[in-house]
A and B are shown apart, each in its own frame.
Chain A
Amino acid sequence: MAKPKIALYWAASCGGCDVAVLDTNEKLLDIANIADIVFWPIALDFKYHHLEAMEDGSVDLCLFNGAIRSSEQERIARLLRAKSKVMVAFGACACFGGIPALANFTNRDEIFERAYVEAPSNANANGTFPQTLTKVSEGELELPELFDTVLTLAQVIDVEYFVPGCPPPVDIILKVVDLFATGQLPPVGAIIASDKTLCDECDRTKEEKKITKFYRPHEIIPDPKKCLLEQGIICCGPATRGGCGLRCIQANMPCRGCFGPPPGVVDQGAKLVSALASIYQGDSEAEIARMVEEVLDPAGTFYRFGLADSMLKRKRLQQPQTEGIK
């Protein structure tokens, strides 16, 4: 019997999810024994036309990491959807937008302006910008178009499963492969991680959540055994799905939400606003104003990995029309 076929691809990605697959170390050899990897640009030399030549549905499992922010990434996402039976949004970027989705605070023009004109090391007096089509003396060169808005994978194609994390931990990766290999994948739509919040799984001592001041991580040296939030350090644990193994917490640093919202939460940022404001001690206007001051970057902290997946998805693109001014 032919071995099942697996494809891996990276869109707007850093490569960390591919490295995570490689960090399964010797177990990766076991994976290579039970399946054929037919497409994986970081490791293998199969090109796009090989993918195009495959029969639709001939790939049994596709692990797709990275967000969608260019015409080429959208094209390959659709192509892989056609070729694959099971599509997995692999890693925080494919699931929620990830760090690249912070670009939803800005737009393509602003990014271009900074990168190609404003940056202090630029020598670009002509104001040259990259173009989707350039005529050179020998012929024409093409580049894909960059979008204003970064999208999650599920906002572009149908996705069967979600594996969160930046990157996903090795034990979850092996679990996904195992479920696939033994035909035990859960019902479609499942997020393959814990069903509890990070707080639930955190083994630090929790007493009473009464915060009187928010500290930035470099302003104090936190006790490594006590809850970080209780010590005044903003931690996204209350509204982040668990299953990551507390990697950041163990390094004495707070959670920044890379596993996405927990079950039942549709907007991670809104929930974190709610949770943190609820436990802050302060009823007077002055105390409340101080609390708001102390949270320096609510959108960038609470939507660190999930701006594309939030309810509003991005910063509004243009100034509103003004009508009916008397």
Chain B
Amino acid sequence: MSFEPKIVGILCNWCSYAGADLAGISRKKYTPNVRVVRVMCSGRVDPTFVLKAFESGADGVLICGCHPGECHYAEGNYKAARRIPLLKKMLSQLGIEDERVRLEWVSASEGDRFASIVDEMTEQIRRLGPFSRNGGGENG
């Protein structure tokens, strides 16, 4: 049985969640590997959520927000734009591959785009394999 990645998707209410919803309404076919969590703004995404997702068994985390300049709260997505790359640098020092955490801007009308992002990310992580924190066991 080939490995099915578990991806946690944290989507902002105003743009990206609506975009994901549009993909659904349009009956767009795409891989079912994302579990969606809705937040009001991508600026709400505390890096701790990403770690918690991995600790809880996720193989990847997708964060989506409004395009720069279009944030419902004006600046929230800029905070995400700075936090997530810095978080990814820290995670790479912990041996976590770049592809496992992804930040994308998805507008309410970009249903197709959301679907392709999920397809692409699922494939990348399938190739990387499962996320396991202590591959060789904790002691020894």
Contact = CB atoms under 8 A, between A and B. Distances in A.
Interface of A: 105, 107, 145, 147-149, 151, 266-267, 269-271, 273-274, 276-278, 280, 282-283, 288-289, 291-292, 295, 297-300, 302, 310-325
A269 B52 CA distance: 13
A324 B133 contact: no
Given A271-B46, A288-B81, 16 more contacts: A105-B94, A148-B139, A273-B90, A274-B83, A277-B83, A278-B82, A288-B82, A313-B133, A315-B95, A316-B131, A317-B134, A319-B135, A320-B131, A323-B3, A323-B129, A324-B2
A310 to B, nearest CB: 8
Contacts of A278: 79, 82-83
A320 B139 CA distance: 18
Interface in B80-101: 81-83, 85-87, 89-90, 93-96
Most B C-beta atoms less than 10 A away, residue of A151, A269, A313: A269
Given A311-B55, A325-B127, A291 B93 contact: no
Contacts, number: 128
A247 to B, nearest CB: 26
B86 A291 contact: yes
Nearest to A294: B86
B24 interface: no
Given A267-B48, A270-B46, A321-B130, A316 B83 contact: no
B94 A318 contact: no
Given A316-B132, A322-B127, A295 B89 contact: yes
A145 B140 CA distance: 8
Interface string B42-65: 000011101110110000000000
Interface size class of B (residues with CB under 8 A): 35 or more
A273 B129 CA distance: 27
A301 to B, nearest CB: 9
A288 B79 CA distance: 10
Contact of B126 (A149, A266, A315, A324): A324
A102 to B, nearest CB: 11
B134 A314 contact: yes
Contacts of B133: 312-314, 316
13 contacts: A148-B136, A148-B138, A266-B48, A273-B83, A274-B47, A288-B85, A299-B90, A313-B133, A316-B96, A317-B136, A320-B128, A320-B132, A321-B129
B136 A271 contact: no
B93 A270 contact: no
A71 B14 CA distance: 53
Contact of A292 (B79, B86, B139): B86
Given A145-B140, A147-B140, A273 B86 contact: yes
A282 B93 contact: no
Contacts of A266: 48
Sort A-B residue pairs by CB-CB distance and give the 5 closest, nearest first.
A324-B2, A320-B129, A318-B135, A316-B95, A299-B93
B78 interface: yes
Contacts of B138: 147-149, 151
Most B C-beta atoms less than 10 A away, residue of A107, A145, A271, A283: A283
Contact of A277 (B2, B79, B128, B131): B79
B89 A298 contact: yes
